[in-house]
Amino acid sequence: MSIRIRPVLGVVALAAVAVTGLLTTAAAPATGSAVAAHCADRVDRRDVYVPRILSPRAGEVWRSGERVEVTWDVSDPPRQITNRTGSVLLRVGERTLDCPVLAEDFDILRGHVEVTVPNVPPGDDYRIVLFGDSGNFSEPFTITSEP
């Protein structure tokens, strides 16, 4: 059995050529081909829907325990929405709280959902996060425990 030692540079160059060849071959379907048309059609069917949250508005004050309505604009949805099942979470600062979930399992095209304001520390950096096809945030608002 013989062992041959090859220079590292040669191996790296060979690997780079092989990888470049694979990437070039895999990444270049012909424009106007049936494959390109199929891919374009599939992208169209995966439209992301990010409706603008209408309420709560900036500066609005919610009290822990009260029932409030979260609303969003559904006036211009895409033809095909990937996920129409919505959920509403609370965000404070840069952190989205996964507990408690304020609302879930509703149709995102409904445009509104009623939630109970959770018992959280008072603050003025809360936001609503609307999940469905994507996640988007409301303007910052305040939660207080005072009546």
Q: Where do we find the tokens 């404070």?
A: 92
76/28 same-domain check? no
The mean per-residue pLDDT over the stretch 83-110 comes to 92
76/23 same-domain check? no
60/132 same-domain check? yes
62/119 same-domain check? yes
Start-to-end CA span in the chain (Å): 86
Using the predicted structure, report yes or no on whether residue 11 has a pLDDT greater than 60.
Answer: no
Flag whether 2 is in a domain. no
34/67 same-domain check? no
- Note the pTM of the prediction, 2 decimals: 0.63
Tens of pLDDT, residue by residue over 97-116, are: 988 999 999 999 999 999 99
Burial call 97-108: b when 16+ CB within 10 Å, e when fewer? eeeeebbeebeb
65/84 same-domain check? yes
Flag whether 23 is in a domain. yes
Using the predicted structure, report yes or no on whether residue 90 has a pLDDT greater than 60.
Answer: yes
Flag whether 84 is in a domain. yes
More confidently predicted of 24 and 71: 71
Query: Structural domain of residue 72, as residue ranges?
Result: 53-144
Tens of pLDDT, residue by residue over 14-63, are: 333 333 333 333 444 444 555 445 444 444 444 677 889 999 999 999 99
pLDDT (0 to 100) of residue 141: 84
Tally of domains within the chain: 2
Flag whether 110 is in a domain. yes
29/61 same-domain check? no
Residue 8 pLDDT grade (very low, low, confident, very high; cuts 50, 70, 90): very low
